[in-house]
Chains A and B, each alone.
Chain A
Amino acid sequence: MSATPLLELRGIDKSFGPVQVLRDVAFAAHAGEVTALVGDNGAGKSTLVKCISGIYPTDAGEFLFDGRPVTIHSPRDAAALGIEVVYQDLALCDNLDIVQNMFLGREKRNGLVLDEPTMEQMAAETLAGLSVRTVKSLRQHVSSLSGGQRQTVAIAKAVLWNSRLVILDEPTAALGVAQTAQVLELVRRLADNGLAVVLISHNMNDVFAVSDRIAALYLGQMVAQVKTTDITHAQVVELITAGRSGSLGLSAEPGTGANGNGGGTLPADSTTGGAR
């Protein structure tokens, strides 16, 4: 789609003491696209997200936002750029209603007094903009919502602030079939509204259902970032588990002993010319 990615990372390194978690990671997220970030447990997905959202400082590498180099030192910097993260464990307050949750920590005020009508109006507009029709009243407590509705509120909360990049950490992990479909539809709609969306997921069906690009992390290295249409289910699984798949991923190293069984079958399937 667009020529310059909204967010581009180059050569990101991150270590915790002696453990190097991210090694020379390059990553791009384009406006209007859903980029799926996949990888096994411990591959560095969460660390990468926390680097993007300013929770962890990076050791090396550059951030380009809108083509301009930027530095992100804190979550506040990320929020100022329009980067919002929706965490796995939702971070909603059960005892507050939808509007109160969406504006939590950033309430609109008239002097000292909370400006409830404005907040309610903005929340209604945001939900309408996302074509959310599943909530009965904006003033119902979050405790009375289903899992899918809660996820919807969490996503709407991220979108409310004119955000440009929304990162979703396993938004469907705890949901049933119907609710998953509902949330995926919402994720797609975010991208169609022009936002850059990064979707972290373990579920290949979800990834193939909504993503435009897939970025695979393997042991702290970005092994491939390709268009979803250019790659198969099996190849993604292979990238996640072995770090390479045919011409994709890490070049065959002498050190990797595990590529004997899986790597052998795939070179025949060489339809992956679209890889960059």
Chain B
Amino acid sequence: MTMTVVQEEGPASVTPAPTVASHARNYWSRVRGGDIGALPAVLGLIVLCTVFSIARPSFLTAGNFANLFTQGAAVTLIAMGLVFVLLLGEIDLSAGFASGVCAAVLANVVTVLGYPWYVAVLAAIATGVVIGTTIGILVAKVGIPSFVVTLAGFLAFQGIALMLMEEGSNIAIRDEVLLAIANRNLPPLVGWLLALVTVAGYGATQLLRHRKRASRGLVTDPIAVVFARIGGLALVLGVAVFILNLERSRNVLITSLKGVPIVVPVIAVLLILWTFVLQRTSYGRHVYAVGGNREAARRAGINVDRIRISVFVICSSMAAVGGIVAASRANSVDPNTGGSSVLLYAVGAAVIGGTSLFGGKGRVLDAVLGGAVIAVIDNGMGLMEYSSGVKYVLTGVVLALAATVDAFSRRRSTAIGTR
């Protein structure tokens, strides 16, 4: 072992302050040790975008860029909830049709019963909570494997969605607010403002944390790396907002079409919220602990059953949010909302982003990155006029690839001894 070498370095608190070079070296050794995180997703995104841009120049237009967000939003939102379930090494196969049921509830409340939009949204999310609690109790308290429970849910929720829509007819959504979620854009100025607030907020928390750790004499990331992170975020957000604020209407005289789609801040807020919950609260810490070693978590006094139920509640609630966005985008809800490829795309998004199927490893950001990969494939293949068949095959191959990377990185970290 390397123990004798390490022994000379002294206690952890007085190791030399890391430099940019040592930071990069550490990152590289983590990658080599199998802790690759979202690297494959980011690389895949770059490769896919390059290929599609060359093959179809129309891929690289502002209009198509905006389309990517609205197309991928529902899947991404469902995937964000699935990350929690996957962190425990469980699976929720019913998330797709759960979102369909919640969308059906939304449509019934707002269109058939005529309640205001916020009542409908609350009803849809409440439906998600009920579904999640039921699944969670069946898994944690009754002890049925989540695969079986949610497979049953997959079938049952499909049936419930059918019943809620009088055997197959669809329900139109006419509420302006609900339609705006996936179909309207923010005024350009508001887009810039939100980007500014996000970067400022991120920068402030990063710098504050750096100062707090430094003042206590703890090991900190080099300040240059902190600034690079803030700058990177500012660059990405800046470019994205700039492109989205370009005019993308075919005929400006008829209508003007520009600005950040409203669904983008919706995703961003939920991304920040759930990242905060997972990384900065003891609840999040306990989710990772239960996913890593359930027995250790139990002995540490963590209520394992409660954690297991809660992740299914979060997953189904996020499925409800995804269902609302899907309903908004389609202007209606039909029995196939949340059906066909939605669930598989969502699981794929989480896994492609770097969330492990074996539990204990993953971030909410993974769902967004993976969702982007899925949306790009879907959109690019569509532009290249491939049939749905080819599209499904390619997405399946990418998912299999991502799962392979997951399995390999796990095996590698076992071999190298980092797991």
A interface residue numbers (CB < 8 A to B): 75-76, 87, 89-96, 100, 104-107, 109, 112-114, 117, 120-121, 124, 127-128, 132-139, 141, 143-144, 146, 148-149, 178-179, 182
Contacts and interface: CB of A to CB of B under 8 A. Distances in A.
B213 interface: yes
A179 B1 CA distance: 10
Given A94-B360, A114-B280, A114-B285, A137 B299 contact: no
A133 B10 contact: yes
A190 B299 CA distance: 22
Contacts of B300: 91, 104-106
Contacts of B253: none
A95 B361 contact: yes
Contact of B413 (A117, A143, A179): A143
Contacts of A121: 216-218
Top 7 nearest A-B pairs by Cβ distance?
A105-B300, A93-B292, A95-B292, A95-B360, A143-B419, A91-B296, A105-B301
A107 B10 CA distance: 26
Contacts, number: 115
Nearest to A85: B299
B13 interface: yes
22 contacts: A76-B301, A92-B296, A93-B292, A93-B297, A96-B288, A96-B289, A100-B285, A100-B289, A104-B285, A109-B282, A112-B281, A117-B212, A120-B218, A124-B12, A127-B12, A133-B9, A135-B12, A136-B6, A139-B219, A143-B418, A144-B418, A146-B417
A141 B280 contact: no
B226 interface: no
A94 B13 CA distance: 22
Contacts of A112: 281
Given A94-B419, A95-B360, A121-B218, 12 more contacts: A90-B296, A95-B361, A100-B285, A100-B289, A104-B289, A104-B300, A120-B218, A127-B12, A128-B13, A134-B6, A141-B419, A182-B3
Interface string B5-25: 011011111010000000000
Contacts of B12: 124, 127, 135-138
Contacts of B286: 105
B335 interface: no
B293 interface: yes
B293 A134 contact: no
A104 B418 contact: no
Interface string B268-282: 000000000000111
A95 to B, nearest CB: 4
Nearest to B414: A143
B314 to A, nearest CB: 17
B400 to A, nearest CB: 24
A93 B293 contact: yes
Contacts of A104: 285, 289, 296-297, 300, 302
Contacts of A120: 213, 218
Given A87-B299, A93-B297, A134 B281 contact: no
B7 A95 contact: no
A106 B419 CA distance: 24
B247 interface: no
Contacts of A113: 280-281
Given A124-B12, A143-B419, A96 B292 contact: yes
A146 B299 CA distance: 22
A149 B11 CA distance: 13
Interface of B: 1, 3, 6-7, 9-13, 15, 33, 212-213, 216-219, 280-282, 285-286, 288-289, 291-293, 295-297, 299-302, 360-361, 413, 417-419
A194 B412 CA distance: 43
B11 A128 contact: yes
Contacts of B297: 93, 104-105
Contacts of B213: 117, 120
A94 B281 contact: no
A137 B11 contact: no
Most interface-central of B9, B296, B300, B302 (chain A CB within 10 A): B296
A125 B361 CA distance: 29
Contact of B216 (A95, A105, A117): A117
A127 B218 CA distance: 14
A95 B359 CA distance: 9
B287 to A, nearest CB: 11
A121 B212 CA distance: 12
B33 A144 contact: yes
A132 B301 CA distance: 26
A91 B295 contact: yes
Nearest to B1: A146
A151 B394 CA distance: 47
B391 to A, nearest CB: 35
A178 B3 contact: yes
B293 A94 contact: yes
A163 to B, nearest CB: 15
Most interface-central of A87, A107, A134 (chain B CB within 10 A): A134
A236 B219 CA distance: 48
Contacts of B295: 89, 91
Contacts of A134: 3, 6-7
Contacts of B280: 113-114
Contacts of B212: 117
Contact of B299 (A91, A95, A136, A178): A91
A219 B11 CA distance: 44
A93 B10 CA distance: 25
A100 B288 CA distance: 10
Contacts of A182: 3
